[in-house]
Amino acid sequence: MSDLIFLTGPVRSGKSRRAVDIATRWGDDVVYVATYRRDPDDAEMAERVRRHQAERPAWRTLEAPPTVSEALAALDPPPSGVVLDSLGLWLGDRFEGSDAAILDGWSDELARFRAAPWPVVVIGDEIGWSPVPADAALRRFRDLAGFLGQRTAAAATEAWLMVAGCPLRLK
């Protein structure tokens, strides 16, 4: 069983920076899994992606594979470690599916991450700390993100909450 480290927290809390700090200890062949499917019309998000790329080492990148664990298993050479950024964007890419399909799909990914011969950092998103959204789709997204985070923390060997750049160990 490999290490599975879960980093969660609000926006701009330092999760990605902490993931890079952790993963650089795993050697030079870390794979960064970008779960965002690029939208050519979203210039602001393109700038966010560019900043993230500039802030991390020149690792191999997998761009939003349909099944992350299968894409990782097919890599040659295999990675020395994996950073998946982020669970919220992974959810957003699958949001049209049923709740059961989303939750079961993530549980399958988690099981494969734990069975992989390399460590994995999963970056989550704490979005449920605000008032209940008025929109049903936003409530569903918030709830699913919370359930995915709970499953990830339960499967993780370590879980951390990032707040203002400071890591707080949960598990």
CATH code, 63: 3.40.50.300
Is the model's pLDDT at 168 over the cut of 70? yes
CA distance 65 to 21: 24
Catalytic-role residue among 3, 24, 52, 114: 52
Q: Residue 63 annotated as binding?
A: yes
Q: Residue 14 annotated as binding?
A: yes
Above pLDDT 70, what percent of the chain?
A: 96
User: Rounded to whole angstroms, what are the CA distances from 77 to 10, 74, 167?
Assistant: 34, 9, 32
Is the model's pLDDT at 58 over the cut of 90? no
Is the model's pLDDT at 63 over the cut of 90? no
* Strands, E assignment, 38-147: 60-63, 81-85, 120-123
| Structural domain harbouring 39 | 4-169
Average pLDDT over residues 40-44: 75
Q: Catalytic: 52?
A: yes
Is the model's pLDDT at 56 over the cut of 90? no
Tell me, what's the pLDDT at 38? 67
Task: Tell me which of 48 and 112 has the higher pLDDT.
Answer: 112
Q: How many domains does the chain have?
A: 1
Q: Residue 98 annotated as binding?
A: no
Is the model's pLDDT at 95 over the cut of 90? yes
Is the model's pLDDT at 36 over the cut of 80? no
Q: Residue 12 annotated as binding?
A: yes
